Amino acid sequence: MSETRPQAPPVVPGDPRRNLRSPLMVLRVRLDDGRKTFFGYAKNISRGGIFIATINPKEVGSRFQVEIPLPPPLCRTLQCFCEVVWIRDFSKGSLYEPGMGLKFLDLPAEMAERIEGWIGSVGA
């Protein structure tokens, strides 16, 4: 007699991101591209980049300097150049917030380590 086994649910692939990230709410971020200053709100951060919530994201490939006030225990203002690597436009009814993903281009290694350590301690 042959048994019919229920099929296992499909495996959902893991997040392909390289770095852990942590929520970073309600921090006002200053972006300066030399022509105008833009303010947005940071939603999460990793040692490799940050998500900025905005209804007016810059174009993919845009590069500019950011200033990000970091929370305790870091208590510093991160300053570095970033590049827009992806954007999510506003869409009525979307489950996802509009904004842009930025990649840090010249973040000092010491600061990247501190961010990673902080994320590890928050997630512990």
Q: What is the pLDDT of residues 41-65, one digit of tens each?
A: 788 888 999 998 888 888 999 998 8
Q: Is residue 43 part of a domain?
A: yes
Q: pLDDT value at position 5?
A: 53
Q: Is residue 109 part of a domain?
A: yes
Q: Is residue 10 part of a domain?
A: no
Which range marks the domain in which residue 106 is found? 22-123
Q: Is residue 4 part of a domain?
A: no
The residue with tokens 């902080």 is 118
Please give the mean pLDDT across all residues of the chain.
78
What is the domain count for the chain?
A: 1
Tell me the torsion sign for CA atoms 85, 97, 124, 15.
Answer: negative
Pair 83, 103: CB distance under 8 Å: yes
Q: Is residue 1 part of a domain?
A: no
Q: Is residue 2 part of a domain?
A: no
Q: Is residue 5 part of a domain?
A: no
Whether pTM exceeds 0.85: no
